[in-house]
Amino acid sequence: MQAMIETEADLSEVIAGASGPLTVVGGGTRLIGLTAGQVLATEGLSGVRLYEPGALTLVAGAGTPLGEIEALLATEGQALAFEPMDHRGLLGQTGAPSVGGMVAANVSGPRRVKAGACRDFLLGVRFVDGSGRILKNGGRVMKNVTGYDLAKLMAGSFGTLGVLSEVSLKVLPRAETSTSVLIEGLGAADAVRAMGMALGSPFDISAAAHAPIGPEGAATTMLRLEGFQQSVAYRAGRLRDHLREFGSIEIEVSHEKSTDIWRWVRDVQAFHASKGDVWRIVVKPTDGPEVGKRLVERFAAGLVFDQGGGLIWVLVPAGSDARAVLSGIEGHARIERASNETKAKLGVFPRQNALVERLSAGLRAKFDPRGILNPGLMDAL
Amino acid sequence: MEMPVPRLRLLANKAHIVCRLREVLSKAAVIEHATETRAYECDALSAYRCPPLAVVLPSTTAEVSEVLKICHQEGVPVVPRGAGTSLAGGALPTADCVVLGVAKLNQVIKIDYDNRFIRVGSGRTNLSVTGAVEERGFFYAPDPSSQLACVIAGNVAMNSGGAHCLKYGVTTNNLLGVTMVLMDGSVVEIGGEYADAAGLDLLGLICGSEGQLGVVTEASLRILHQPEGARPVMIGFDSSEAAGACVSDIIRAGVLPVAIEFMDRPCIRATEAFAGAGYPDVEALLIIEVEGAVSEIDFQLGKIVEIAKAHDPVEIRESRSAEESARIWAGRKAAFGAMGQINDYMCLDGTIPVSQLPLVLRRIRELSGQYGLDVGNVFHAGDGNMHPLILYDANKPGDLEKCEKMGADILRLCVEVGGCLTGEHGVGVEKRDLMHVQYSKDDLEVQLAVKDVFDPEWLLNPAKVFPLAITRGRRERVV
């Protein structure tokens, strides 16, 4: 363990002087990929550098605890609109998630279906590459096409291209209230159809999920509406009429209860207490039911569908290869929780087409010529 | 505007290059006669012109691949071209290049309402993407002002925005996947029909790369259902400062309009004379549009008006009907044309933090006095994306140079206050030599390294985006 990194210059010095592989760690709550190197902790790069509520902009050191940022935004009635998932319950971690880790893993939540992912709210980055160069890209303004968009590239690169030192994020007003429209008893195929009809309506759905075993036990399809009180009430009514064919529809008007439901979905609470591996599968929504069917037939898997069916959280017996069910279906599967043996055996990240793999490897060779930043972390088998 | 010296080797080899291109394309799809290539000598930044060696208009991804393979083998630079509406000179040719126009790749390939996306050829116009899905009430959200003419290839290359991106985001936020041809002719699929990348976000990297990494031939785009309705309110102020403060307060209050447009007095007067939209003669005007059901619109407009009243507005005009809405928008939509009636103009595109609006507007006024050139401001205020229009006389010797100098000063100011050189138009050739104002040597070097990965020979749109001096070694490498 090296000395605490407190400035960008420290970070640059440590990376430039490193003689072997480094494992980059923010809050240490989302250790998804496999790494083996000396730990490089960014927690010392902490602190909100700028917050302008009227410009919807926040700039913070990469090591800043996410909780601190969310609390600060709440004082102004604002929030991170992409609703980043908290991995701690699912992965059994206890640390404090950092904003840099969130960006490095491009972590989003149920509102992704409407607002976009973490990468869509990333206005700019500062980072240190594998040679120790201090670099920046983007900035702190909402529209910026000056040069290549390396901020997007850094989001979701899991520290394999550089170590983030500072991030700029677009924030949005927190909704005045939320309401959940709930349908019980649907199978996955009907649920995805209902979610598709809702998401394709003018009623501005901010989340759409389905769980064969929902928060209260029964199969539940969940749709969220957010905004001003009066608007939410109106749209909930219209949405109920719109989805009449799917049977009895309950409207949960309590903002607190609705918040609990979506935290359950966001953090995949359904699998917190269960043993087994957890996979994260992304497909186009209408392929969701077929993928789910195969997973249940093959592994008796537990499922939670988010993003209208396009994101499937999967619980399978330890060591199962959930990725195998994707044959013939466009999409990708990542191991979110498993033993290191299983991760090593099946590969955490999926294989991509040969050209994309070649271009990705080419980029890594430019950003990290010595191959010392989380080496191999995103490599497929 | 400095451009690379054309390579005599290529100019001398024209007949051979054209002959090879004709082997893979139909006769009409290869344009080489000087009278015809002239049509491609510039884009919407028409101050700079240069006819290319030849123009090709392929109809399929396979043809694009064949063309690029040949140009790669022959060492010919390729300038990709969408509809040629770039305001930054993104499609400006060099005399030794082949212009690759994607206009014929304009089909709708697939519409998937259940998964809410459409896949189109990249030569399809922005507006006709919406046109293909509007019968079912859907639309494609990014709406650059040139949407009637501009095509998706250019939108992806420049990561185009529009008036409504405050709510819906820009191109990169609405793009699911592309088919792209690399300079060596290989065809790569990036992204797909689902959200989020499996590995590195190459899609995010390609969007906004100004045609320097590959030629996008197909794109899958997110489509949304139209809201039940939309209505604007127009608010006049007797100072730009008051208008700027009002914008900030609206955003802070938790209302998220789909558009907040700003015009200053010179622009208002010009558009009144041109379009007669009935705008008041005030120092600054905001047009703010909200969406939703009737009751939602009333509620949101009520809130906006309440906030605006605290800033001593001179006039508030809430639209009550579709006709009134159209009238309110008529002037804004005619603004560029109206300014063009007065004189030649140069349209800037810097973005600033919204909080810096009053300061930047004041400094622009001062610069205008200093240089003796009039400036009109019309822009997307909600996201700080400014469009100062500097008026000059193209026939007056020295006026263009003076205008460019003043533009550079304004863009430096944008960077100084925490903003950037370009919010939605792109760097092209226009802002190429200002890149060092925003980025350090290393910041630029890492971007050049990205291009090295996709296009090691630096043949794709090579003279754009970066100062020529720092790319010379790469562009002139003998291969």
CATH number at residue B154: 3.30.465.10
Same-domain status, B38 and B91: yes
> Does residue B304 sit within a domain?
yes
Within 8 A of A283 by CB-CB distance, chain B residues are 194
> Is the CB of A307 inside 8 Å of chain B's CB atoms?
yes
Same-domain status, B215 and B175: yes
pLDDT value of position A3: 67
Number of domains into which chain B is organized = 4
Same-domain status, B48 and B186: yes
Within 8 A of A165 by CB-CB distance, chain B residues are none
CA nearest to B230 within chain A: A202
**Inter-chain residue contact B248 with A112, CB threshold 8 Å:** no
CA nearest to A361 within chain B: B453
Token code pair at residue B252: 């802070």
Same-domain status, B199 and B73: yes
Within 8 A of B438 by CB-CB distance, chain A residues are 139, 146-147
pLDDT value of position A225: 97
CA geometry: angle B189, B194, B197, nearest 5 deg = 60
> Is the CB of B446 inside 8 Å of chain A's CB atoms?
yes
Of B198, B227, B300, which is closest to A352 when you measure between CB atoms? B198
Q: Which of B423, B351, B252, B241 lies closest to A56, judged by CA?
A: B252
- In angstroms, the CA B334 to CA B331 distance is 5
- In angstroms, the CA B315 to CA B426 distance is 36
CB contact burial A15-54 (16+ within 10 A = b; e otherwise): beebeebbbbbbbbbbbbbbbebeebbbbbbbeeeebbbb
CA nearest to A176 within chain B: B254
Q: Is A70 helix (H, G, I), strand (E, B) or coil?
A: helix
Q: Which of A121, A88, A90 lies closest to A106, judged by CA?
A: A121
pLDDT value of position B479: 52
- The stretches of B310-454 forming alpha helices (DSSP H) are 322-333, 335-342, 357-371, 399-416, 435-438, 441-454
Cβ contacts from A onto B, under 8 A: 254
> Is the CB of A353 inside 8 Å of chain B's CB atoms?
yes
Of A141, A231, A366, which is closest to B353 when you measure between CB atoms? A141
Same-domain status, B72 and B146: yes
**Inter-chain residue contact A228 with B300, CB threshold 8 Å:** yes
Cβ pair A214, A220 in contact under 8 A: yes
> Does residue B426 sit within a domain?
no
pLDDT value of position A2: 58
Q: Is B98 helix (H, G, I), strand (E, B) or coil?
A: strand
**Inter-chain residue contact B227 with A282, CB threshold 8 Å:** no
Of A157, A283, A284, which is closest to B200 when you measure between CB atoms? A157
- In angstroms, the CA A330 to CA A328 distance is 7
How many residues are there in chain A? 381
Same-domain status, B209 and B320: no
Cβ pair B373, B392 in contact under 8 A: yes
* Residue B470 neighbours by CB distance under 10 Å: 14
Of A120, A144, A161, which is closest to B169 when you measure between CB atoms? A120
Q: What are phi and psi of B150, to 5 degrees?
A: -70, 150
Q: Which of B219, B201, B230, B245 lies closest to B361, judged by CA?
A: B245
Determine which helix (DSSP H) or strand (DSSP E) holds B224, and give its type and residue range: strand B224-225
pLDDT value of position B47: 87
> Does residue B280 sit within a domain?
yes
CA–CA distances in Å: residue B76 to residues A43, B339, B370, B458: 49, 39, 44, 10
Q: Which of A234, B197, A275 lies closest to B189, judged by CA?
A: B197
pLDDT value of position A30: 94
- In angstroms, the CA B66 to CA B22 distance is 11
CATH number for the domain harbouring residue B402: 3.30.70.2740
Within 8 A of A114 by CB-CB distance, chain B residues are none
- In angstroms, the CA B31 to CA B341 distance is 34
> Does residue B425 sit within a domain?
no
Same-domain status, B237 and B221: no
**Inter-chain residue contact B423 with A363, CB threshold 8 Å:** no
To the nearest whole Å, the CA of A53 is away from the closest chain B CA by 6
> Does residue B260 sit within a domain?
yes
Token code pair at residue B155: 């939108």
Going by their DSSP bridges, the two strands B215-222 and A177-184 should be labelled as: unpaired
- In angstroms, the CA B243 to CA B306 distance is 14
Fill in the amino acid letter for B2: E
To the nearest whole Å, the CA of B254 is away from the closest chain A CA by 5
Partner A, chain B 152-191, Cβ-Cβ below 8 Å: 158-159, 161, 165-166, 169-170, 172-173, 182, 186, 188-190
> Is the CB of B194 inside 8 Å of chain A's CB atoms?
yes
Mean pLDDT by 10 residues, chain A (381 residues): 84 97 95 92 97 94 98 97 98 96 98 97 98 98 96 98 98 95 98 98 97 97 95 95 95 94 98 97 98 98 98 98 97 97 97 97 98 96 85
Cβ pair A10, A326 in contact under 8 A: no
CA–CA distances in Å: residue B217 to residues A83, B79, B462: 34, 14, 19
Same-domain status, B137 and B218: yes
To the nearest whole Å, the CA of B456 is away from the closest chain A CA by 11
> Is the CB of B201 inside 8 Å of chain A's CB atoms?
yes
Of A136, A145, A352, which is closest to B423 when you measure between CB atoms? A145
Residue B327 lies in domain: 230-336
Same-domain status, B49 and B169: yes
CATH number for the domain harbouring residue B265: 3.30.70.3450
> Is the CB of B292 inside 8 Å of chain A's CB atoms?
yes
Same-domain status, B382 and B466: no
CA–CA distances in Å: residue B120 to residues B117, B126, B222: 10, 10, 11
- The stretches of A267-301 forming alpha helices (DSSP H) are 288-299
Determine which helix (DSSP H) or strand (DSSP E) holds B329, and give its type and residue range: helix B322-333
Same-domain status, B193 and B309: no
Same-domain status, B164 and B261: no
Cβ pair B67, B25 in contact under 8 A: yes
> Is the CB of A230 inside 8 Å of chain B's CB atoms?
yes
> Is the CB of A362 inside 8 Å of chain B's CB atoms?
yes
DSSP assigned state of B48: -
Partner A, chain B 204-263, Cβ-Cβ below 8 Å: 204-205, 207-209, 225-228, 248-249, 251-256
pLDDT value of position B295: 85
> Does residue B207 sit within a domain?
yes
> Does residue B47 sit within a domain?
yes
Going by their DSSP bridges, the two strands A277-283 and A331-337 should be labelled as: antiparallel
Going by their DSSP bridges, the two strands B98-101 and B54-56 should be labelled as: parallel
DSSP assigned state of B174: G
- In angstroms, the CA B215 to CA B50 distance is 21
Which of these three, B336, B364, B382, is where a domain ends? B336
Which of these three, B210, B226, B242, is where a domain ends? B226
> Is the CB of A354 inside 8 Å of chain B's CB atoms?
no
Of B249, B299, B452, which is closest to A228 when you measure between CB atoms? B299
Mutate to test the interface with B, among A127, A141, A206, A306 (most CBs of B within 10 A): A141
DSSP assigned state of A7: S
pLDDT value of position B162: 86
Distance in Å from the first CA to the final CA of chain B: 27
Q: Which parts of chain B sit beneath pLDDT 70?
A: 478-479
> Is the CB of A244 inside 8 Å of chain B's CB atoms?
no
Distance in Å from the first CA to the final CA of chain A: 30
- In angstroms, the CA A253 to CA B254 distance is 21
Q: How many CA atoms lie within 13 A of B409 on its CB side?
A: 15
| Contacts (Cβ under 8 Å, ≥6 apart) of A326 | A281, A283, A291, A332, A333
> All domains of chain A, ordered by start, with CATH?
8-173 (3.30.465.10), 177-266 (3.30.70.2190), 269-346 (3.30.70)
Q: Is B153 helix (H, G, I), strand (E, B) or coil?
A: helix
To the nearest whole Å, the CA of A146 is away from the closest chain B CA by 5
Token code pair at residue B208: 């906004």
> Does residue B175 sit within a domain?
yes
Which of these three, B281, B304, B336, is where a domain ends? B336
- In angstroms, the CA B380 to CA B357 distance is 11
Within 8 A of A145 by CB-CB distance, chain B residues are 158-159, 208, 422-427
Of A76, A146, A156, which is closest to B421 when you measure between CB atoms? A146
**Inter-chain residue contact B254 with A176, CB threshold 8 Å:** yes
Q: How many CA atoms lie within 13 A of A308 on its CB side?
A: 24
